[in-house]
Structure 1
Amino acid sequence: MFEKIKCFILDMDGTIYLGNELFPFTKDFLKKVEETGREYYFFTNNSSKSQQAYIEKLDKLGIPIQKEQMMISSHVIIKYLKDHYDGKSIYVVGTPSLIQEFQYFDMNLVEEDPDIVVLGFDTTLTYEKLEKACHYIRNGCVYFGINPDWNCPMEGGKFIPDCGSMAKLIEASTGKFPDFFGKPSKYTLNYIIQETGYQPEEIAIVGDRLYTDIAVADQSDVTSILVLSGESTRKDVEASDVKPDVILEDLSEITKML
């Protein structure tokens, strides 16, 4: 099954770790990927943190990586904006880390009269930000969202409202719902294919969420692998229209097959 796979795109929380605890099988899997001449990348939908923050977290967990191995949803939309709206002014609803990520790529950020509103997973959300975003959107600004997740999982089985839920709040006020760029959008799939340089049939996306990790590969030649070490269960698969190509307990089962 894995003979044709040359590249693994790995979700993070629920796939390689849970909270701040690395799964005991993760390092063995990554080592086996390298030993068999394959590559691995990480991709997170969480748009509240910077690429560097995730690189540092992985390093603390004993997984040093190259910068290009850490993919984040905010980079997908930044690339799209550069390709299609270069130079246009942007109002970003997001954390300081997200703002810094946009600034790093020299995006034209403004606080007043933007051409585009971008909604991220903003754990520093204020009423003032919402008021401004809704005003701009209501008056005709182009409007995009970064990641469609309804909730962000926290340690201890808790959840906090994520970007998708914030978009629903704005929709209630403006009647507008954004086009999203993180998993499971085709923007993300195209970004992964372009950035890795592999053909779709050579890529496997591994994750624990059906509606993001698995759905991003739906109706493509990319192999989708659902691991049951995080959010989704076999019952969820039965009830879902999105079906993974493969269901495994965790990464250790892939290690045995490589």
Structure 2
Amino acid sequence: MVNGLMENGGYAMDLGKKRLFLLDLDGTVYLEETLLPGAAAFFRWAAESGAHVRYLTNNSSRGVEAGLEKMHRLGVPARREEFLTAVEAAIYYLRTRRKAGEAYYVVGTESFCSQLRQAGIDVRCTPDADVAAVLVGFDTELCYQKVEDACRLLFRGADFLATNPDLACPTLYGFMPDCGAICRLIVSAVGREPVYIGKPDPTMIRLALEQTGCAAEEALMVGDRLYTDIACGRNAGVDTVLVLTGEATAADAAASATPPTLICRDMAELLARIQEAQS
């Protein structure tokens, strides 16, 4: 590193110019009820320096209010407007890319379904004949009946949508199946792939840039997954940092078609590099 410039892949990233930090949550900021190393210090630094923070999560199992309450419980002074979730991305997609008034069979938590209904989306709990599409989320309330109903509708010709392709959600004991794994179960039966709405689609990052007035070169996407977090940043044209506290390893990054701009052990190392670049 020279004067805050990080060399990677033949180009330089100036961490000293970053003022919008786009953070994944699970595996990046926390694991279950535990803040990961450096996260608390990073948020203190962001508040003191006036940096913008946005939380970009593909987790559709809970709403923004639940996520906000969790962050406060962990001691993070997050604000509601700082959250951009897979639920909001799904609502935005259904409103802008689908026909008005369509009905959806949702494989998701009651929280997810409730948020969709509050946004005016026609959510069905049975495989009705007029269902236009199956929408799969990270369903921690999954039962086999939902899987069977989804397959029944997809064989009838319903469209196949999903909030995110994440295969595993990190936990303190290891990992649990995420939305992408649930989709793999359905894909193996019906032979069809879903259209994924959340990361790596760049919509959430574009919304964050619009909200904060920051340019792409002033933003930094930080996450633990190459095929969602890092790919999302690359798709949006922003620099990326892979932290090794969740799913991906340094070896995974070296072999990836979507390598990060920078690899850090955790948020603590990232903060140290930012502070050095700004000194």
TM-score (norm 2): 0.85
Residue 98 of structure 1, aligned match among 103, 108, 112? 112
Residue 149 of structure 1, aligned match among 166, 171, 174? 166
Residue 109 of structure 1, aligned match among 113, 123, 133? 123
Q: How does 1:85-234 map to 2 (within 5 A)?
A: 85=98, 86-110=100-124, 111=126, 112=128, 113-157=130-174, 159-218=175-234, 220-234=236-250
**Residue 251 of structure 1: aligned partner:** 267
Secondary structure in 1 aligned to 2:140? coil
Taking a change above 3 Å as real, the CA distance of residues 24 and 186 of structure 1, as seen in their structure-2 partners, is: closer
Q: Name the stretch that deviates more: 83-92 or 59-68.
A: 83-92
Q: Name the stretch that deviates more: 230-239 or 92-101.
A: 230-239
How far the C-alpha of 1:153 sits from its partner, in A, is: 2.0
Counterpart CA distance in 1 for 2:181 and 2:37 is 33
Runs of 4 or more above 6 Å deviation? none
Residue 35 of structure 2, aligned match among 19, 22, 43? 22
Residue 50 of structure 1, aligned match among 57, 60, 63? 63
How far the C-alpha of 1:25 sits from its partner, in A, is: 2.1
How far the C-alpha of 1:35 sits from its partner, in A, is: 2.1
Secondary structure in 2 aligned to 1:224? strand
- Cα-Cα RMSD: 1.9
Counterpart CA distance in 1 for 2:96 and 2:235 is 25
How far the C-alpha of 1:185 sits from its partner, in A, is: 2.1
How far the C-alpha of 1:56 sits from its partner, in A, is: 0.8
1:250 maps to amino acid: D
TM-score (norm 1): 0.91
Counterpart CA distance in 2 for 1:153 and 1:219 is 24
Percent identity over the alignment? 37
| Alpha carbons 2:56, 2:204 under 8 Å: kept | no
2:243 maps to amino acid: V
Residue 81 of structure 2, aligned match among 32, 48, 68? 68
How far the C-alpha of 1:2 sits from its partner, in A, is: 2.0
Counterpart CA distance in 2 for 1:13 and 1:84 is 28
Aligned residue pairs total: 257
Counterpart CA distance in 2 for 1:6 and 1:131 is 47
Counterpart CA distance in 2 for 1:87 and 1:197 is 33
Taking a change above 3 Å as real, the CA distance of residues 10 and 28 of structure 1, as seen in their structure-2 partners, is: same
Counterpart CA distance in 1 for 2:120 and 2:87 is 14
Per-residue CA deviations over 1:39-60 (Å, capped at 9, x if unaligned) read 1111211211221111111010
